[in-house]
A and B are shown apart, each in its own frame.
Chain A
Amino acid sequence: VTTATAPAPTGQVYTPVTGDDRAVARSLTLWYVLASTAIFAVSGLLGAALRQSQADIVRIDDNAWYAVMTAHGLGAFVGWAAFAVMGFTWWVLAEVGFPIGTLGERLARAAWWCMVVGVAGVVVTTLVFSFAGSWVFLYPLPFHSAGQWSDWVTALFSASVLLVGLSIIIWCVAVLVVVTGPGLGSDRGVLNRLGAAMGLGILWPRKFVSAQPVPYPVIPLTVIAIDMIIATAPLAVLLVEMIIESFTAISVDPLLAKNVLWWFGHPVVYLLLFPAVAIYYLLVPRYAKRPLVAGNIIAVGWTIAVIANVTVWAHHLYLDYPNGIQAAINTGMEPITFALTLVSALSLYSLFMTIFNSRWTWNAASTALFLGLVSWLLAGLSGVVNATIAWDAFVHNTLWIVGHFHHMALLNIGIVIFGAVYAFLPKIVGHELYSDRMGMWHIWTTFLAGTANSAIWIVQGLDGGPRRFAQLPGEYDAWTAASIPVVAILTLVQLLFVWNVVQTLRGRTSTHTRRLAMGLDRPKLTSPALQGFVMVTTLLALAGLAAAGWAIGNRDADEAEAAFLPPIEQPAGGAGGELAAGQQVFVASGCGGCHQLAAANATGTVGPDLDQLAPTDDRVAEIVANGRGAMPAFRDQLTPEQIDAVATYVAESATGGP
């Protein structure tokens, strides 16, 4: 049996589980979705707070900014997006006839608790105890806090992330228990059943048997459950090492640690995507009223995925090549990463072609799915740019990356989560959605504002704007200001979502929904003309506000502070030329990275405050030349004349006060 046999778009008909099995799925899904929605609200607000601080509206202290960034990253990515799709997995499995069973349920509840406690730990260690190592906590940064947090906080943070990792592993085991369980209807061995659940029966039907063709949504869930166990285990070991290192003197090779981090950090992206694909596979055919357009080739794609997913980690290390081995690994990862994008290309084809020319129902849920596919395609294309080493050499660690992953995480995964809430919540709670029309407004506005938000980052990134900067140079002010109204709309429109969910949970229906039910109204916002009108109006409003922001930012951007290096002003009075030379040395050597000196616009907070210290020029010259404590020696970099000049400059310019 080969892949060359005719593709069979099998009209898969699923028989949902019933009775107690359904009650279990309902309860699990509700617990996961409610917890993840609460995390979404918090981490979303943290994200908005970061952006407004960059725009200098209410400035957050540097370390606090990085702590919020850490909480926002882990919170939004894992605590919201991953956690939510992990929860919807239980409902998807129930819908395609896979009962969760006693063991599955126990594991699912254990995973829930690990996630909730882990995320709470992350929030406390970052927002209360100032851990600000970013969500990738790039080893050994957690142990070099520049005096901002102590090692026991690192231990606590690592333990919290370890719980999150444990949650993921337990969830994976639970999924594997369910997909190889009675729902599959196979009496073969465990490995054979695993193969069947992965869709290998589509390629080799006689070898991998199941009672009925394996439901398409089960395939990505099986693939990610296998992969995340492989991906998370080494990270768990690193986290345990970090906990021990907090108390004793052991260490790990930083390059190895970086590989371990991304060994997990790449697949975790697919912990978001693949369960979202399961939701697409289930719901898109339902709204298109036709079977999923998929041939045997889709099983080929998922077979590539299960292997490629755990062998592409080093594309996050494209610019780490201190030795030939790492360079060789990195180069090999480019074609493998490309192979992995084929799975997305095939799924996108299947899903768009399922919609094409169909009698597609346009409601809040189906609109979310459609726009999610749009974002998957557009963000996938910017992902191909990142995957290309020659291009990544430019975009690496710029705001382009931030634009890319917010596009993918918020507008593909996030919007599918919203769509799944609109589609599943009514079934889970047993009555209609409060307002489908409100849902439409929420989805369209989220899509448009979210796309604009990512587009702004992409533009800033192509302009060389660095990511993870608490304060950006003036060069980027205009676009940062442009993003503020967009972020505000994106944030505010989520109130529609929260209100819709709360009212639905309370069993309410809007007047419009009731009038529709009685046949008094025609559904609004469902004709192409009306949708187009809404889209264009929202776009114009966004563009107008963004343009206003851009203009304000552009006007306020001080030309003199446009660059990364602080501007050099002529010191007033005294021996102008000599002091200017000293200032040049001060600025060019990056003294301001650690020290404060008002005369040079230097605001570093790690080393001594030179204004307050007011050292003599001899003392400055001696320390600059030979270094002291954490301060490096500059005698190899600077000439004796330059050292004298900077010493005189510091001694003359220090104000002598705080």
Chain B
Amino acid sequence: LRETPEAPGRRRCENTGVNPTALTITIAYSAVVFVAVVAILIVWRSTHSFERNRKDTTDTHRLAEGEKGWFMFAVAALAVLLLATLAFIPYGDNAKAEGQQEVRVDSQQFAWVMSPSTIRAGVPARFAVTSRDVNHGFAVYNDENVLLFQIQAVPGSTSHIVYTFKEPGRYQVVCLEFCGLNHHKMVGALQVGEAR
């Protein structure tokens, strides 16, 4: 058996690690959950008393007053989140531009038809994604199963998404919108060659 240097074995793609968005979510969610759990434990403990027949002397009017402060805080926190993440909404960066590689992605139950299916690293690739039958989800993972980006493939419409691959290698195209019987088998490969 002859060794084939080009054999596309797994784990050849250098682009490993984690998705930065996933990392941000993990950190933000863990931190907020930690604070929430501490607050919950304080409320939980406050209801337990070893005094028999303890009188409830809490000033509930004051607590109700506090609701306004909490409302302001919640509005402010959400506003900060909104403003901080607004710039990362992917809608704006998918326009046609000079120097892009155009990739046409036709999806159908249960195959991805991509032309070309081999592209170059380092150059923005603009995917024009559509479907010939039902809704599909065009998601690209690297060879370590790290989800890089995704967009819905809607029948009768063409959606665009631009992504620049940094590393050459094999990338996996996975369907992320349920499309029937062989949905989980609807996979394909995108070969990314060396940057020129």
Query: What is the interface of chain A, defined by CB distance below 8 A to chain B?
Result: 6-9, 62-63, 66, 132-134, 138, 140-141, 144-148, 253-255, 258, 289-291, 293-295, 297-298, 317, 319-323, 327, 330-331, 334-335, 338, 341-342, 345-346, 349-350, 352-360, 362, 370, 374, 377-378, 381-382, 384-385, 388-391, 393-398, 462-464, 466-473, 475, 527-528, 560, 562-565, 567-568, 570, 572, 576-577, 580-581, 584, 587-594, 603-606, 630, 632, 634, 636-638
Asked if A141 and B179 sit within 8 Å, CB to CB, the answer is yes
Candidates B44, B45, B151; contact of A319 at CB < 8 Å: B151
Chain B interface size, under 10 / 10 to 19 / 20 to 34 / 35 or more: 35 or more
Contacts between the two chains (Cβ within 8 Å), count: 337
Kindly supply a per-residue 1/0 record for chain B positions 117-145, scoring 1 wherever the CB is within 8 Å of any chain A CB and 0 otherwise. Answer: 10000000000000011110101010111
Could you jot down 17 A-B contacts, CB within 8 Å? A62-B182, A144-B134, A253-B156, A327-B91, A346-B71, A346-B74, A355-B46, A388-B82, A388-B85, A396-B150, A397-B139, A397-B150, A397-B176, A466-B139, A468-B183, A592-B185, A606-B109
Contact (A464, B67) CB under 8 Å given A138-B178, A258-B135: no
Closest 10 CB pairs of A and B: A588-B189, A322-B157, A390-B88, A593-B110, A360-B47, A464-B147, A590-B188, A394-B21, A390-B85, A469-B184
List A contacts of B172 (CB < 8 A).
Answer: 563-565
Candidates A254, A357, A572, A636; contact of B115 at CB < 8 Å: A636
A230 to B141, CA, bound (A): 40
Shortest CB–CB separation between residue A238 and chain B, in angstroms? 15
Tell whether B16 is near chain A: CB-to-CB under 8 Å.
Answer: no
Asked if B113 and A341 sit within 8 Å, CB to CB, the answer is no
Q: Which of B21-76 contact A (CB under 8 A)?
A: 21-22, 24-26, 28-29, 32-33, 36-37, 39-40, 43-49, 54, 56, 58, 60-61, 63-68, 70-71, 74-75
Asked if A604 and B182 sit within 8 Å, CB to CB, the answer is yes
Shortest CB–CB separation between residue B44 and chain A, in angstroms? 7
A591 to B188, CA, bound (A): 8
Asked if B9 and A146 sit within 8 Å, CB to CB, the answer is no
B24, B116, B149, B154 pick with most chain A CB within 10 angstroms: B154
Tell whether B89 is near chain A: CB-to-CB under 8 Å.
Answer: yes
Tell whether B112 is near chain A: CB-to-CB under 8 Å.
Answer: yes
List B contacts of A389 (CB < 8 A).
Answer: 85, 88-91
Asked if A146 and B109 sit within 8 Å, CB to CB, the answer is yes
Asked if A528 and B48 sit within 8 Å, CB to CB, the answer is yes
Asked if A357 and B134 sit within 8 Å, CB to CB, the answer is no
Asked if B177 and A255 sit within 8 Å, CB to CB, the answer is no
Contact (A357, B156) CB under 8 Å given A289-B56, A338-B78: no
Asked if B174 and A564 sit within 8 Å, CB to CB, the answer is yes
Candidates B24, B81, B154; contact of A384 at CB < 8 Å: B81
Asked if B110 and A604 sit within 8 Å, CB to CB, the answer is yes
List B contacts of A592 (CB < 8 A).
Answer: 185, 187
A253 to B154, CA, bound (A): 10
Asked if A144 and B109 sit within 8 Å, CB to CB, the answer is yes
Shortest CB–CB separation between residue B23 and chain A, in angstroms? 9
Tell whether B158 is near chain A: CB-to-CB under 8 Å.
Answer: yes
List B contacts of A393 (CB < 8 A).
Answer: 21, 88, 90, 149-150
